[in-house]
Amino acid sequence: MNSTTTFEVDMKSRWQRNRIAFQTIFSKELARFLRIWMQTILPSAITMALYFVIFGNLIGSRIGSMGGFSYIQYIAPGIIMMAVITNSYSNVVSSFFGAKFQRHIEEILVSPVPHVLIVAGYVAGGVARGVIVAFVVLMVALLFTEIQIYSYAITLAVVVLTATLFSIGGLINAIYAKKFDDISIVPTFVLTPLTYLGGVFYSIDLLPDFWRTLSLANPVLYMVNAFRYGILGVSDIGLGTAFLVIIVFTSGLFYFSLSLLRRGVGIRS
Amino acid sequence: MHALEIRNLTKTYASGIRALDGIDLNVDQGEFFALLGPNGAGKSTAIGIISSLINKSSGLIKVFGIDTDHDFDRAKSLIGLVPQELNFSQFESVSEIVLNQAGYYGIPRRSARANTERFLRQLGLWDRRNQRSRDLSGGMKRRLMIARALVHEPKLLILDEPTAGVDIELRRSMWDFLRDLNAAGTTIILTTHYLEEAEHLCRNIAIINRGQIIENTSMKRLLTQLHAEIFVLDLSAPISAAPEGSDFDFRLKDDTTLEVVVYLGQTINDVFEFLSGKSIQVTSMRGKSNRLEELFVNLIQEDE
């Protein structure tokens, strides 16, 4: 009886200790990107405003409607999602690699923070930035067009899940990265092409069969379309399939990142 | 109980370098323990493994009886580490760094603030608490790492060359601080290149060379192994040649400076008695080199 009580007290204190540790990592991440908001939040607002001006107003007015909406309305969800993907990924990859580079990741490694909380803390930071940037870009979009959100729940769920997925992706990139060049290779050569070819600016129904089928192998397509469904109520992909793909990818990458940390890949000799 | 127990610890890096070749070590609770060795001997690897920054190849480590293979998180909560290299964010303030570290150990905010203030005050950094860490002087950065390592009140503090590059005055104030900490019950393991520091502070010592412990004993016992010690004597009046007619080995360095080698079994009193008999007056005396340093060099040379 006595040992059971001790165990329970120990587990309770562990839970409390872990909660504080998670809050510490998360609030540190939040403070980090908010402190440098001109480098982390503002650029997305400006870049996406340019997309709306050029692709939405100037070119879009000549394209006409797509999926039953004006072109600028059709691309708005994709542009917001593009900002979410870029920001959540870059937040974690730069922060975690910076911590490795300056060696202050050791502050966490020597402390009794479980690996799952290291992943959770950094990813929560990336998700927070993704959600804030999504809101800011949505506000920018409202300057150019009217948007009536079809489903707040689906919209928010897709933003959070997508930001989670790409935050974990950024973490994995940072774990493997040995120099600064290594953190820009994936965004440049993988992330950007996948995003641009993920149905941000067009419906895949416009593509020839071969390219349409090939596009289905692009996970970003499912996120953009699920988000578009949340905002406009239209999608090239079934909502269930889209959520399934996002959840499977997120779960897979989560367990992969956890196993990397547990084995000490990139952080322990 | 041992604060730290190491059995047959080995580490071979991916490059093939065998940094630790089966070391055994016990550090008792409450000790002030020196872990010495030349560069590349394996000290930092051993410390890295104990603090979980490096994966071991094999062996057993227990911290206050807790096997790190079974519950490393609990073992880690008992350890505080002051690493050799600066490893804090250059963009955070002094208090942020210490407070965040308390957070990683799960210390509630109120206690974390109280501990942060206590240790920053004790280490003379309280006035700098809002300053960015990169703007601190070298000595302050070292003290910041000590405050950070102590914020969760560890039972075992490991310091890997904490006074490297620190001026003498500050080094001595850090010695006083560490002595008080040890007297209050914290077990301390120290690695240092200043052997004088180890001799002043530590009761027990292990010397590691090429991944193996080549000596593990008390400081007092180790120093009795010294067979000869050289003293430098300053004379009140010049002499033309080293005095002769005794068993002592005198060497005249200049006309007012005499060196004498005192072997095991001889006493410094006999030296003075002999010199008085020759009407040579000594105004001051000092050891030519640190005693531990001589022993250390001898042991390393014997091992190689």
**Residue B261's pLDDT band (cuts 50, 70, 90):** confident
pLDDT given for residue B226 in this prediction: 64
Is residue B102 domain-shared with residue B199, that is, in the same domain? yes
Closest by CA to B198, choosing from B40, B43, B1, is: B43
Is residue B109 domain-shared with residue B186, that is, in the same domain? yes
pLDDT by residue (tens digit) across B90-135?
A: 999 999 999 999 999 999 999 999 999 999 999 999 999 999 999 9
Is residue B274 domain-shared with residue B261, that is, in the same domain? yes
Residue B266 in contact with partner chain A when CB distance is under 8 A: no
pLDDT given for residue A66 in this prediction: 85
CA atoms within 13 A on the CB side of A257: 30
Of B223, B246, B278, the residue that ends a domain is B223
The CATH number of the domain holding residue B136 is 3.40.50.300
Q: Do A23 and B103 touch (CB under 8 A)?
A: yes
CA-derived radius of gyration, chain A: 20
* Helical (H) or strand (E) element with A74: helix A71-101
Averages of pLDDT over runs of 10 residues in chain A (269 residues) are 46 84 97 94 93 85 84 92 96 96 95 96 98 96 91 96 97 96 91 90 88 92 94 92 96 97 92
Closest residue in B to A27 (Cα) is B100
Domain count, chain B: 2
Domain count, chain A: 1
Cα distances (Å, whole numbers) of residue B12 to A59, A122, B19, B62, B77: 62, 31, 6, 20, 26
Q: What's the token pair of residue B303?
A: 């091992």
Mean pLDDT for B52-62 is 96
Closest by CA to B229, choosing from B178, B295, B185, is: B295
pLDDT by residue (tens digit) across B152-171?
A: 999 999 999 888 777 888 88
Looking at chain B, the whole-number percentage of residues with pLDDT higher than 70 is 96
List of chain B residues whose C-beta atoms are within 8 Å of the C-beta of residue A97: none
In the predicted model, is pLDDT for residue B300 greater than 80? Answer: no
Cβ B63 vs Cβ B3: under 8 Å: yes
B106 closest CB neighbour out of A20, A99, A268:
A20
Tell me which DSSP letter residue B133 carries.
G
In whole angstroms, give the CA distance from residue B95 to residue B102.
11
In whole angstroms, give the CA distance from residue A131 to residue A136.
9
Cβ B260 vs Cβ B233: under 8 Å: yes
- Cβ count within 10 A of residue A62: 7
Question: A55 lies in which domain range?
Answer: 15-263
Is residue B72 domain-shared with residue B29, that is, in the same domain? yes
Question: B137 lies in which domain range?
Answer: 2-223
In whole angstroms, give the CA distance from residue A79 to residue A220.
12
Residue among B45, B104, B144, B157 with most chain A CBs within 10 A, to mutate: B104
Domain membership flag for residue A269: no
In whole angstroms, give the CA distance from residue B193 to residue B162.
10
Pairing of strands B228-235, B257-263: antiparallel
Q: What's the token pair of residue B109?
A: 């905010």
In the predicted model, is pLDDT for residue B289 greater than 70? Answer: no
The CATH number of the domain holding residue B288 is 3.30.70.1560
Is residue B48 domain-shared with residue B104, that is, in the same domain? yes
In the predicted model, is pLDDT for residue B38 greater than 70? Answer: yes
Of B223, B255, B278, the residue that ends a domain is B223
Torsion angle of the four alpha carbons A77, A79, A80, A86, in this order, in degrees rounded to the nearest 10: 140
